Amino acid sequence: MPNIVYRINTLLTIVLRRVPLGTNLGLLSLLWALLSGRLLHSRGALFPALADLGLSDAAVRRASAALTYGRFQMADLIHDWNQLVLQEGQFQTHSHEGIRPVPVDMVGFFRPKLVACPTKHYTSQAGKALPALAFGMVGATGSVGEARLCLPRLLVEADPNDKSEADHQKRTVIRAAQTLTDQEALILDAGFPLADLLSLPDTRFVVRGAKNFTARRNFLPVYPGKGRYAEYGEVVRPLARIYKGKTLPATAPDAWLEWTEGERTIQALLFEDLVLSDAKPDGPGFRCVVIVDPRYHQPLVLLTNLVVSVSAQAVRELYRDRWPVEQMPLAAKQMLGAARAFVFASDSRTRLPQLALLAGNVLSYVAATSAPVATGFWDRKCRPTCGRLRRVLSRLHFSDLALEALGEGLGSQVRKKASVTEHLRKGVQAHRRTKAVVEPLTARLAA
């Protein structure tokens, strides 16, 4: 076995240290099946993926039972993974003018054939929301070597009481705001409503705005001398647009900046002291920063409640640090094959996507902290990516991994639980039901 296999196995063993005995061995096998791309080869079928790993029939059943009935919490696994990565000291958190980005995003694992799927998630390919198991992702952006990485902090499941995906989004933002420190700010995409962010007290954020975004000044205009006194501030339109055949001009910015990056000149239009378009003055205020980059056809509209002392360059860099959170579902779905899954129990169908997100993050971290592994002779300039590492792992056989790679001292932590089961029925006898003996009505009346 390559040394990188033993390194991954040691990391997984530490992450599973709080999982009960027996269940941790089943989860270890399941995580190895995910990391090596077996779920990708089996097109989402769990039993063939575990069998292809080299497990016995009994081990396959135990791994599936650990996923379905095991007593563990994903929050504990994510917390232990965070602590492990921070203790190794190779993850360097990003900071821009003293503010660390905490990206937030939503992801959906689509299950169109799942009966009574409780939630839906929008997909641009279909142009509508489809049945899916949705999760809110909260992380911290940093660098491992030359690669950017989002370290997961929270995975927020959909709640049965959520009436729509908007409720799930709002609950995710609230949970994310509770984890922030004084030096952190939420970084969000355009799908998150600005009103929900402004309603959170003492929560700093940077969110992308729509191209047709409008706001109002946080103060009343000067009284013209006649007519009714104004109740709302003047309308602010950062970008010009066409409405019903008429061109609506853009509002002049309060300030204008530009800087040079290489051969490109970046411009920033600043609009200060704004409120929502339907809000009166003295409401929760925010700023609008419009970034004009010659590489893109459309300007980038960013909304933030960061103080004026935070420059436009820092606001732009904070939003750019939101993109690594997109790597988490990319690694889990496309690289590891979790886009399809054939599990239907109430717990397993939500646990498997979360374990896939964790496994994709583990694979990305290990690839970034290890020497690059080439896919083949043609890969002359290989980079430390999770896809290359997954291809290498997919060619290995792991039938003896639990015995060879655990090492002395770890075998007592991750192993099969020696439970006495000889007195229990096995096979079909374990779940066979017998009809209840009902006494005749006449006998009961006589008694």
- This prediction has a pTM of 0.87
Q: What DSSP letter does each residue of 43-67 carry, written as one string?
A: TT-HHHHHHHTT--HHHHHHHHHHH
pLDDT in tens, 125-161: 888 888 889 999 999 999 998 899 999 999 999 887 8
Any idea what the Cα angle at residue 346 is, between residues 402 and 179, rounded to 5°? Answer: 80
Give the start-to-end residue ranges of the domains of the chain.
3-77+344-404
- On whether the CB atoms of residues 47 and 56 are closer than 8 A, the answer is no
DSSP letters for 295-317: TSSSPEEEEE---TTS-HHHHHH
Spatial contact of 368 and 327, defined as CB atoms under 8 Å apart: no
Any alpha helices (H) in 236-375, and if so which ranges? Answer: 312-320, 327-330, 348-369
Cβ(353)–Cβ(336) below 8 Å: no
- The 10s digit of each residue's pLDDT in 25-57 is 899 999 999 999 999 989 989 999 999 988 888
| pLDDT tens for the chain, residues 1 to 447 | 678 888 898 899 999 989 988 888 899 999 999 999 999 989 989 999 999 988 888 889 989 999 999 899 999 999 999 999 999 999 999 999 999 999 999 999 988 888 888 888 888 888 888 888 999 999 999 999 889 999 999 999 988 788 888 899 999 999 999 999 999 999 999 989 999 999 998 899 999 999 999 999 999 988 888 888 888 999 999 999 888 888 889 999 999 999 998 889 999 999 999 999 999 998 899 999 999 999 999 999 999 999 888 999 999 999 999 999 999 999 999 999 998 888 888 889 999 999 999 999 999 999 999 888 888 888 888 888 888 989 988 888 776 555 444 443 444 566 666 666 666 676 677 666 666 555 665 655 565
